[in-house]
Amino acid sequence: MKNKKILVRDIGKQSFSEAWEYQEKIFKEIINQKVQNRSKNKKIETKNFLILTEHNHVYTIGKSGDVNNLLIDKDELIKREIEYFKINRGGDITYHGPGQIMVYPIFDLDNFFTDINLYLRKLEEVIIDTLQSYGLKGFTIQGETGVWVRDENGLSKKICAFGIRASRWVTMHGLCLNVNPDLSYFDFIIPCGIKDKGVTSLSLIKKEVVEINQVKLRLVENFKSVFKADINFETN
């Protein structure tokens, strides 16, 4: 039987390494349950989690990313107190930090649909719907994963980056939505390896401070709608 309930956990501000370890623990528990179900012919439901957090300043690069897209050296990273991790998701280099909502869906896609491409399109739909609730038109670009908006000059600017990992149809990592981060940290990388398009934030486009907890609630509501799921908020 498919379990379409999503358990939401807001774990507050955590370092990237702490949140990565937290994700890995849940990810492995779900996979282990699936293995047991298959080997012992059990029918124990697997769970789906939506983890929300913010990180300290960090650059992460996916397993297929180009290290040349990091434009400063190790000494400069230390000086600026920016962490750097090579991690086991798809995608290239990106920045995470305060003012950015990190969204980590740890879903068993057997509970929804077994199609990674569709899963990514659904994540994009969640973000586009969330932006629409703020009066913004988000869009995708063929051949790229993520969501863009147009600035006041009509230029395409990335507002949400994606990078996932999946095994046995269980997902981890996810997306980062720029609400009100310090965008200057993107100057030291080539974000997602894309040279001809910049980045922006919800607050910058709206020209007003957008409250991050309000955005989290809208994101959760859109996950509920797009994935046709029930939502339960849990304490960490």
Average pLDDT, the chain: 92
The three state secondary structure string of 46-89 is CCEEEEEEECCCEEEECCCCCHHHECCCHHHHHHCCCEEEECCC
Query: 115 vs 103, 108, 121, 161, CA distance in Å?
Result: 20, 11, 10, 20
Is residue 193 predicted with pLDDT exceeding 80? no
Residue 34's H or E segment, with its range, is helix 16-39
pTM over 0.75: yes
Is residue 90 predicted with pLDDT exceeding 80? no
What's the confidence (pLDDT) of residue 236?
A: 62
Q: For residue range 39-70, what is the model confidence (pLDDT) as tens digits? A: 877 788 999 999 999 999 999 998 878 888 89
Is residue 87 predicted with pLDDT exceeding 90? no
d(CA 179, CA 134): 11
Q: Which residues contact 131 (CB under 8 A, 6 or more apart)?
A: 137, 138, 147, 149, 159, 202
* Domain assignments of the chain as residue spans, ordered by start: 5-234
What's the confidence (pLDDT) of residue 198?
A: 86
- What share of the chain has pLDDT > 70, as a percent? 97
Nearest residue to 125 (alpha-carbon basis) of 223, 236, 1, 207 = 223
Nearest residue to 158 (alpha-carbon basis) of 124, 199, 130 = 199
Q: Residue 98 corresponds to which tokens in the numbers above? A: 């305060």
Contact 55, 18 (CB under 8 A): no
Q: For residue range 161-184, what is the model confidence (pLDDT) as tens digits? A: 999 999 999 999 999 999 999 999
Q: What is the mean pLDDT of residues 95-107?
A: 97
Environment class of residue 122 by beta-carbon count within 10 Å: exposed (0-12), middle (13-18) or buried (19+)? middle
| Between 67 and 159, the higher pLDDT residue | 159
Q: What is the mean pLDDT of residues 121-147?
A: 95
160 has catalytic annotation: no
| Between 82 and 235, the higher pLDDT residue | 82
Classify residue 39 by its DSSP letter: H
Q: Is 5-234 CATH 3.30.930.10?
A: yes
d(CA 152, CA 158): 14
Is residue 224 predicted with pLDDT exceeding 70? yes
What's the confidence (pLDDT) of residue 150?
A: 95
Among the listed residues 50, 103, 128, 192, the single catalytic one is: 192
Q: For residue range 195-212, what is the model confidence (pLDDT) as tens digits? A: 666 899 999 999 999 999
